[in-house]
Structures are given as structure tokens and as C-alpha cells.
Structure 1
Amino acid sequence: MPPSLSVLDLSPIPAGSTVADALRNTVDLARAAERFGYRRYWLAEHHLNPGVAGAVPTLLMQAVAAATADIRVGSGAVQTGHRTPLSVVEEFGTLDALYPGRIDLGLGRSGGTRDPRRENGHVEGRVVDGVVIPAPFTARAALRSQRVKAQRELIRQPGAEAPGYTAVVDEVLGLLAGTHRASAGVAVHAVPGEGAGVETWVLGSSGGESAEVAGARGLPFAANYHVSPGTVLDAVEGYRAAFRPSATLDRPHVMVSADVVVARDAARARELAAGYAPWVHSIRSGAGAIPYPDPAAAAEAEWDPELVTDRLETQLVGDPAAVAERLAALARLTGADELLVTTITHDHADRVESYRLLAAEWAA
């Protein structure tokens, strides 16, 4: 059986539309994804981005779960650097109580110091078994931007320090299992949350701390090819090397993400994907995601190839058969058990159609 397909939705705001439009589109796409047979529908978390409405994944998860019947609904991912483990467990415990057996808790590393293991020196890009693995991209400029500094000031309490990611994951797992002890040795019980049937995932972009903690705790791992394509192999290899069987898994379980645009033919798909380069440039330059441009505006936009080329090379754009073939190659290379597809187009109907065409081709 081929790997199952799932959806990652950033709730993008197309140029000329509103936040309300974007959130309605998210719910509409979730209903469509369920009809098309996608396994999971994950909501991203981003802040202070003019072109992205997905800032509070738990609220969007509630709206999506209420509008659907069976598809699993999750976070891709909760940014743990500015959240307490208790707040995460209580929120997801509430969601699980409302929609039992359908909730995924994706935990992302954010807000702490940069993991030095992600700095691997100069590595040449290459093609491995038909899959483009570009040179790793370093986001130093974006991380030094004034927008990121403002985000940190607004999203944390004054003077707060982000705890270590491994400690956060352990505390979340302990609170869910009812085994956590406070610093004074007092037993604590998260209500709601303790005993919740959520499926806990770790998301990561490299073979560093995220991959290692996922493997050592026997959790499923989602590797971000769409965010950091140059380090996806390091991520899945690091996870598998660290894996130890757990009550959750007896073998590693990997999901790999990919940016995808599918249309009836390659020319139409390239037209729909035209806004991707200026959109990625806005993020990586540190300015924050712009409203997603229409193809005509994108044709006039200027962008720095150094900031964008690796993402353009690894965006899967084309007709259904061509994109399915490239996705299958990515799955083979990474050993993925699941694939997480994210698609952004200016017109919502084109985005829905892209997911429909891909699901039909994948099933065939």
C-alpha cells in the first residue's frame, strides 16, 4: 500500500481577501479533504504574518472537527517555546473530550536557542533517486529581523525563558499519562487532559533535538521537507537512529511534508504556483508572509533567488501523474509511512481542485 496522504493548512490569506475568508476556506477545504479520502487535517501556527490566518491551531481544530465527521484533526505544530505544557495538555484534552479518537497533538520546537547540530557547514545540493535534496538553507537573516524580535516580545510574558524542548515533551507526556510530579514532588492531574486519547507527534526539520527526542520516546515523527528540504534526510535518519520501541510504537513511524500544486496540465499548474516565489521570499527575508499574490502580480514581483531557489526546486508542481510520481519518489527515499501535503494558490477553488486531483491519482 502506498503511504497515506494528509493535509497541512496554514490558512493562507490570498491578496484581496480577508482573515474571515481564509478561515471559511479552511473549513471548506477540510470538508473537501475528508470527501477526497485524506487521513489527517493539520493546522499550522504562525504569528504576525499578514498573509497567514493560522495563529491559533486549537481554535481552528475545533472548527474543523465540528465541520467534519471522521478525518483526524491536528496541530502542525504547536509552538512549544511560548506555551506551558499544562496549557497544551488542557487544550488538547478538551478537544479530545469533544471529538474523541480524532485529535493529533503535533509538538514543534520553537522559541529557544538555535540547535547547533543544524549548522552542518557547507553541503552541496544533490539529486538522490530522483528527489532534489538542495543545500541546507540557513535562516539567520530572518531570525535577526525586527519582526521576529517583536513577535518574541509579544508572544511571551516579560522575562519568560523558553524551557528546553526535551523537557517540554516529557512534561506533556507525563501530564497526559498522569505520571507528572511538580517540582515539590506533588502529584498533579491535568483536567481535562489526563488520559486523553490524543496521538502525540514530534515535528522537526533536522537530525537534532526534535528527531532525537521523538526517537528516544518512541513517538511518531513528521519531517519537514517543505520547510527545510536540504535537511530532510538528516531528520529521518536521526529519528530512526534514536528510535526506541514504546507503548505507542514498536517501530519508527515517519510522515514527510511537501509543497504541492496540481492542475489538469503542467502549464496550468505552473501558472497557479507563480505566487510561491515572492511569498517564500517575504517569509525568508524576515518581513513576514505577504498575502498570497495572484499569478499576474507574481509575474511582476522581484525576489532574491538565494532565499527561494531551494524551495522552488522542491515544490512539486504539475499534472496529477507527474506530481504523484515525485511524491512516491520522496516517500521511497525517506521511507515515509505517510505524506503531509500543503498547497497554496491564490484562488481557493484551485486549491481544492489540486487536492482532489492528487487524491484521485494517488488512489488509482
Structure 2
Amino acid sequence: MALESVRFSILDRSRVRRGQTHADALRETVAFAKLAERWGYHRFWVAEHHSVPGVAGTAPTVLAAAVAAATSRIRVGTGGVMLPNHQPLVVAEQFGVLASLFPGRVDMGLGRSVGFTDGVRRALGHGLDDADDFDARLTELLAYFGTGRAGVHAGSAEGVEVPAFLLATGSGAERAARFGLPLVIAPIAGTQAMVESIERYRTLFRPSARTTRPYVIVSAAVVIADSTEQAHHLLFPEAWSSAHSRTHGEFLPLIPPADIDPASMTDRQRQLFERSLGSQIHGTEDQVAEAVENLVSRTDADEILVHTSTFDRDARWDSHRRLARVVGLESWSDRQTSREQLRSENKPTRPAIHSTV
């Protein structure tokens, strides 16, 4: 499959780097979205995490509003709002307001996760079992975009078209098929397991008023650098943070690759660290182009959602810029420049007028 036929988008979790504040990270997210639009990416999504030192993205609909206000074309959404943490009516109203302010540009990505720890779940007013009624919450949420539910109406959302997407965790692929919604999925349990989930989704998919055919977004980490070794080292901060979270219970701010020594890790940490590195696409432009094309071929994905993080902000942004070029995205600003240049070149010439003044 030609990469030019696949959409490419970005998920940004507003990762915090060592020595940086959450406010710094949030402002960088908005700046990054403006670049993503210039490079030609289709969507820019933000995430929801609570009480995490290394992640500033805590209020996705608020941050999405800031991103949408700073851009003009790129679709903006959430990857995603964790529905068990919120009342469906409030979520519907928030997205209704977003879609009213930025018509035709807002996506509603929804997830099933609850707070990372017992303390966070208590602070949010929820427990682990709140994820069990996800189907009921989702049904209620979608109803508010129609004629309401049980006499209750979300005025800002009623009759407003906001595409909904489901993030696959556990039985998420089957749920997306049952509700007739686009699927967002990552190779958390390995690429083969992801491919099998996608196949089940396509087999079980029931067309709905929102989506008439299966639509698959594969989320993947992608890093491009001048060499394979450089790209590999750019992955270290996120892999280290992930390994630390699974052994200590929290994502810490990202640290420089030079400060990460696998030899000093416990056996469990090193195993998680290496597993995280192995699941991410990295290398030179040619290597990444081949790897991404293989991923698209195996999954028949309609869209790739890139979610790369590293300590070096400029290297990360450069990687996304290179990926846009590798996969054939044409930047909006370049298209505008080309159009203006074409008009100028085709503009009829007039005889020079000589004046004595």
C-alpha cells in the first residue's frame, strides 16, 4: 500500500522534561500543533493523565481548545477523554462547545482507563469498577448528540456532528465494532496481537449512523534521525520512563539519554526498558519509510497516529518534520506558497510604463 494513501496524525501527551514545568510542556504542545499543521498532518490529539509528574496533559478538552484556537485547518481532538472519569452529559457539552467554536475540526477520542493509582481514583470520585459500565456511559454520551436521553438535553451538542473514536484496551476492538465506531489501537501486546484484534474488529463491525465501514487508526512511536544509533538513543527517555512507571508506579519527567544506563537497572526494569525499545519504529528516513510501510501492509491501517516522546524537543520536532516528508505529506503553507507562485507566474504581463516623475 502506498503511504501517500494513508493519513498521518499526531498524539501529544505533553510530556514534561527534567527542569521543565507543566506550564512549559503545555505551551510546547500548542507550538507543536502549529508545526504539525504546517507539515500537513491530518489530526493533532491530546491526552488525559492525572497526578503524573512527567505528563502535563490533564484536561484534554481545555487543551484541545487552545490547540484549535492556535491553528486553522488541522483536526483537533482527544486521544482520549477517559469516559469512566467523567459524566457523559458533561463530556457531550464540552465537545459540543468545541465543535460549535471550531466547526468541522473536532474529534472525540474516548478511552476506558481509570486513575493510575487508588489515590487518584478516589480523588476523581471513581473506582476500578467504574470502567465496567463503559457501554452504558458510551450509549448515554452518544445519545446527547442526538435527541437527548430521558428528557435531558446537552444543548451545545444536540444535532452537532462530532466524530467519535474508541481507544482499544482489553475488549476495545470488539466494542468499537459493536458500536460501529472507528478503532484506535496500539501494539501494546505486540504487533501480531494487534493485527488479530484489528481482524476481529473488521469481522464484527456493524455499520452505524456515525460510521458506515471499519476505520482503523494504528498508534505507533516513530523516530527519524541521521543514523540508526542516534534514533535508537532518542527512544531511551520514554522507554526509561515507561519502565520506571511499571516498577515504581509513576511516569517521571523525561531525562537525557546520556543519563540512562541500562546496566544500572534491575532485571525487571531492563526487561521492560528493552521491550519498550523493541516496539518502536526508528532509524534513518529510508529505514523508517520501509518499517512504516510494513506496518501499514500488515494492518491495512487507514491512518497512523504517531506518539513519539524524547528529551530533546528539537530532535523530536525534526523527526516529525522528516516523517511528513518521507510519507509524502505536503505542508499547507507550502501549498499556499505554490498557489501564490503559480498565480504570479501565470499573471498576464503588462507593458512597462515609463514616467518622468
TM-score band, normalised by shorter chain: 0.7 to 0.9
Query: Are the aligned partners of 1:205 and 1:235 in contact in 2 as well (CA < 8 Å)?
Result: no
Query: Residues of 2 paired with 1:16 and 1:229: CA distance?
Result: 33
Deviation readout 1:225-249 (Å, 9 max, x if unpaired): 2x44353123212211220112222
Instruction: Name the structure 2 match of 1:137.
Output: none
Query: Residues of 1 paired with 2:164 and 2:199: CA distance?
Result: 20
When the two structures are aligned, how many residues end up with a matched partner?
A: 322
Structure 2 residue corresponding to 1:302, chosen from 261, 265, 272: 265
Instruction: Name the structure 2 match of 1:274.
Output: 236
Query: Residues of 2 paired with 1:220 and 1:211: CA distance?
Result: 9
Query: Residues of 2 paired with 1:354 and 1:156: CA distance?
Result: 40
Structure 1 residue corresponding to 2:190, chosen from 229, 236, 242: 229
Residue 47 of structure 1 aligns to a residue whose secondary structure is coil
Query: Are the aligned partners of 2:112 and 2:169 in contact in 1 as well (CA < 8 Å)?
Result: no
AA aligned opposite 2:117: V
Deviation readout 1:300-333 (Å, 9 max, x if unpaired): 7625133333322111111122112111111111
Query: Residues of 2 paired with 1:161 and 1:279: CA distance?
Result: 27
Query: Residues of 2 paired with 1:235 and 1:38: CA distance?
Result: 26
Residue 140 of structure 2 aligns to a residue whose secondary structure is helix
Q: Normalization by structure 1: what TM-score?
A: 0.83
Using the TM superposition, give the Cα deviation of residue 363 of structure 1 relative to its aligned residue in structure 2, in angstroms: 0.5
Instruction: Name the structure 1 match of 2:137.
Output: 168
- Cα pair distance change 1:62/1:299, threshold 3 Å: same
Instruction: Name the structure 2 match of 1:352.
Output: 317
Query: Residues of 2 paired with 1:287 and 1:211: CA distance?
Result: 27
Residue 222 of structure 2 aligns to a residue whose secondary structure is strand
Query: Residues of 1 paired with 2:287 and 2:144: CA distance?
Result: 45
Instruction: Name the structure 1 match of 2:217.
Output: 255
Instruction: Name the structure 2 match of 1:181.
Output: 149
1:28-43 paired onto structure 2 within 5 Å: 28-43=31-46
Query: Residues of 1 paired with 2:321 and 2:81: CA distance?
Result: 27
AA aligned opposite 1:260: V
Deviation readout 1:17-65 (Å, 9 max, x if unpaired): 1112111110111001001110000101111111110111111101100
Deviation readout 1:93-119 (Å, 9 max, x if unpaired): 1111110110000111123xxxxxxxx
Q: Which one is further off, 228-237 or 274-283?
A: 228-237
Instruction: Name the structure 1 match of 2:350.
Output: none
1:187-202 paired onto structure 2 within 5 Å: 187-202=151-166
- Cα pair distance change 1:336/1:266, threshold 3 Å: same
Using the TM superposition, give the Cα deviation of residue 163 of structure 1 relative to its aligned residue in structure 2, in angstroms: 5.5
Query: Residues of 1 paired with 2:189 and 2:63: CA distance?
Result: 25
AA aligned opposite 1:74: G
Instruction: Name the structure 2 match of 1:14.
Output: 17
Instruction: Name the structure 2 match of 1:86.
Output: 89
Query: Residues of 1 paired with 2:66 and 2:312: CA distance?
Result: 22
Instruction: Name the structure 1 match of 2:72.
Output: 69
Query: Residues of 1 paired with 2:135 and 2:227: CA distance?
Result: 45
Q: Gapped runs of 5+ residues in structure 2?
A: 330-357
Using the TM superposition, give the Cα deviation of residue 199 of structure 1 relative to its aligned residue in structure 2, in angstroms: 0.9
Structure 2 residue corresponding to 1:150, chosen from 119, 122, 141: 119
Q: Gapped runs of 5+ residues in structure 1?
A: 112-142
Percent of matched pairs sharing the same residue = 40
Query: Are the aligned partners of 2:12 and 2:44 in contact in 1 as well (CA < 8 Å)?
Result: yes
Query: Residues of 2 paired with 1:270 and 1:306: CA distance?
Result: 16
Give the structure with higher Rg (CA): 2
AA aligned opposite 1:60: L
What's the Cα RMSD here?
2.0
